[in-house]
Amino acid sequence: MKKTLIVIVGPTAAGKTELAIAIAKKFNTEIISADSRQVYSELNIGVSRPEEIQLNAVKHHFVACRLVKEEYTAGQFEKDALECLHSIFKKQDAAVTVGGSGLYVKAVCEGLDAVPPGNEAIRNELEIEWKEKGLKHLQDELKKADPEYFKSADIKNPRRVLRALEVFRASGKPFSSFHNTTNRKRDFQIIKIGITYEQKILYEKINQRVDEMMRKGLLDEVKQLLPYKNINALQTVGYRQLFDYLDGKTDLETAVDLIKQSTRNYAKRQLTWFRKDKEIKWFDPGQQEEVFSFLFTVCS
């Protein structure tokens, strides 16, 4: 069998973790998480980190391995993930990558162009504009400067908007252009599996997941992170809305409803991103046996 990376993608709440673990067990191998939020050790409930029993069932990499105050980029992930794969392939013929962060998946499968380093002067300018003119002003500029990134990014996350505009103003090139590199040749074959529910069911699953997060103690998790609320890693769904509640900007019921709405919007963006990749073979979450049959046919 040729060295093979099996990639599991799809929207949040589609059941990627369960499928990835089942596949990893079948191939007696390990999992590389391609989730830009699960990498942070302080984030657990709000990022649907795999349960301890799941982490113990199969060895996982890049889960809870960084602190929120540490910047961790897709470019860094590419380098680290390839080193990890090299190590796994010394022992096994297959490895599994799973996650909903499209840029992380692209990084390990295709590679990314190097994004220009930060420009402190431009960043300071943007910070001032944000405070004086508001986020909407910067969102409008980003939409004109980089419509491709605007469509797929979490534009309600001010740090993502600021970073994209910082790169554009510094380089004169859209932030998205650094993600459109010519594919770097990998010395292993890549098989991509996508799973998702039909929209109505997916949205119900998302709503149920958010309710379950709240029951598990998401609010307490967010309270613990209040000292870090302005860090980029926390400008994200589930944390941002509860920070607003704790700041008295909204009530708890509204905050939870906004988490559900924002998560549904995120799932829609994930599907838009992954649907562009014609190499992905799509299945329903309940088609595990069909997935196995497909994989063994392709890998044989």
* Residue that the structure tokens 């996982």 belong to: 60
Q: Which residue has the higher pLDDT, 161 or 39?
A: 39
C-alpha neighbours within 13 Å on the C-beta side of residue 195:
20
Domain residue ranges in the chain: 4-112+182-299, 120-179
DSSP state, residue 234? G
- State residue 182's pLDDT score: 56
Mean of pLDDT values over 128-150: 88
Complete DSSP assignment for 33-49:
E--TTTTBTT--GGGTP
For 7, list phi and psi in degrees, rounded to 5: -110, 125
Q: Considering only 42-51, 88-97, 178-187, which range has the smallest mean pLDDT?
A: 178-187
pLDDT at 54 over 70: yes
Superfamily for the 4-112+182-299 domain:
P-loop containing nucleotide triphosphate hydrolases (3.40.50.300)
120-179 and 4-112+182-299 share a CATH fold = no
Instruction: State how far the Cα of 220 lies from the Cα of 228, in Å rounded to an integer.
Output: 14
**The pLDDT value given to residue 277:** 93
> Do 42 and 72 touch, CB atoms closer than 8 A?
no
Average pLDDT, the chain: 92
pLDDT digits (tens, 9 = 90+) for 78-137: 999 999 999 999 999 999 999 999 989 999 999 987 777 777 888 888 888 888 888 898
Q: According to CATH, what is the number of the domain 120-179? A: 1.10.20.140
